[in-house]
Amino acid sequence: MPKLDPRHPLSRSVPDLARHHLDAAIAELDEQRLGFDSAVHQARKHLKRVRALIRLVEHVHPKQFKPIRKALSEAARSLSEFRDAAALVECARTLAPYLAGRQVGDMAVALIEAVERRRELLAVEAPAAERLIAPVIASCRKAIAEIRSADFGHEGRAASILAEGRAENRRRAQATLKVCHHGGEPEAFHDLRKCAQATVFQAAFLSPAWPFALAAEAAEAKSLTEILGHEHDMEVLNILMHSEPHLFGAIADRDRLAELIMERRSALRHEAMEIAGRLYEESAKRDEHRFEALWKMASSAKK
């Protein structure tokens, strides 16, 4: 993955990196070489990377950068229904061994069949969904231009700007983790996952300053995102069971499945909170001071 270059001012390195991922998102949606579902999934990942990048510098000019990030978020959300349908199939298949271990393997088979049928129904609508792609591509192109013309502050403050942006994500994660510890709603765990995703991407962008430590940080954050991603997919599955019960058989089977899903989600939440506790244990201020010094050293060493 391309990284921010300490040798270059933010006004060059951030737009270059953003353009790389936005061009990649456009190419995925335009070419669809591996099919519509894959194109949507990969494009949304590129948009998430750009949003994580913007968060590193957003505090410099919030009124300038926040609308760009929000517009990219809306663009990704417009494609979410089609990605969610594929994610639910993956979720059901991952959940199957757990259900089999509870002596309800037949329930796993029925669950997989139900979400696969739903994905097939949405696939029939894929031609109509193509109309959603043009606005997303337009949003990407607009963001490229807006990021290129944005004000990134004084060139000499690059280290402190990036350190503060990184620290802000840590503060957000720590605050969200407290909510989760106090019986947070599903949205709190989803927010924690978004913080962890930002950590993964930002650690990669900033790795020239501290390669081995940030690689380890990204690996642990990625484990956290995968656990919370599975937990979130089961929340979506639970909602689907209530909104479209006809897909899931008899009432008794649905009730038992809902009970087992909640049991599994509880275990995943516990595991996630242990990882998040380690990942975000250090104070944001201490991390900010250290990273600022490291980025300055990396910048000086490469001149």
**Would you kindly state where each structural domain of the chain is located, as residue ranges?**
8-153, 156-303
| pLDDT tens for each residue of 49-69 | 999 999 999 999 999 999 999
The predicted pLDDT at position 245 comes to 82
By mean pLDDT, which of 7-21, 107-121, 265-279, 283-297 is the weakest?
107-121
Burial class for 278, CB neighbours closer than 10 Å (0-12, 13-18, 19+): exposed
Structure tokens at 16: 């270059």
Provide the pLDDT for residue 272.
96
Positive or negative torsion for Cα 13, 15, 18, 22: negative
Written in H, E and C, the secondary structure of 84-111 is: HHHHHHHHHHHHHHHHHHCCCHHHHHHH
Q: Residue 73: is its pLDDT beyond 80? A: yes
Contact 257, 96 (CB under 8 A): no
Per-residue pLDDT tens for 146-166?
999 999 988 889 999 999 999
pLDDT at position 253? 79
Query: What are the tens digits of pLDDT across the range 212-254?
Result: 999 999 999 999 999 999 999 998 888 888 888 877 777 887 8
